[in-house]
Amino acid sequence: EAGVTQSPTHLIKTRGQQATLRCSPISGHTSVYWYQQALGLGLQFLLWYDEGEERNRGNFPPRFSGRQFPNYSSELNVNALELEDSALYLCASRIRAYNSPLHFGNGTRLTVT
């Protein structure tokens, strides 16, 4: 069974640009989560999608947005990039909205210069 896949692995952008990160969940998983992990810090919840709908978002500005497609894959968009957006962005999926383990992808390392 293929795991959660994220692309690209690394992304380098300059301040003010836009970044798009992609995630394919495990087959059969309908819930997708996005997390930001800055260097040396914990997981910060960004967004949760389930069955194509945004169910919850973390305490991030509106320039962080995303969507979930009919095949349950997801993308995260970050507009007007700032230096502090440099971080590892992790996507995770699970088979249902609760009481099931999250499975993480290997992440996209975003560097903003």
How does DSSP assign 28-88, residue by residue? Answer: T--EEEEEEE-TT---EEEEEEETTEEEEE-S--TTEEEEE-TTS-EEEEE-S--GGG-EE
From the number of C-beta atoms within 10 Å of its C-beta (0-12, 13-18, 19+), residue 109 rates as middle
Establish if 88 lies at the interface with other proteins (CB under 8 A). Answer: yes
Q: Which stretch binds other proteins (CB under 8 A): 12-20, 64-72, 74-82, 105-113?
A: 105-113
Establish if 105 lies at the interface with other proteins (CB under 8 A). Answer: yes
Binds other proteins (CB under 8 A): choice among 32, 81, 90, 112? 90
Establish if 11 lies at the interface with other proteins (CB under 8 A). Answer: no
Binds other proteins (CB under 8 A): choice among 34, 48, 64, 72? 48
* Residues engaged in binding other proteins (CB under 8 A): 33, 42-43, 45, 48, 55-56, 88, 90, 97-107
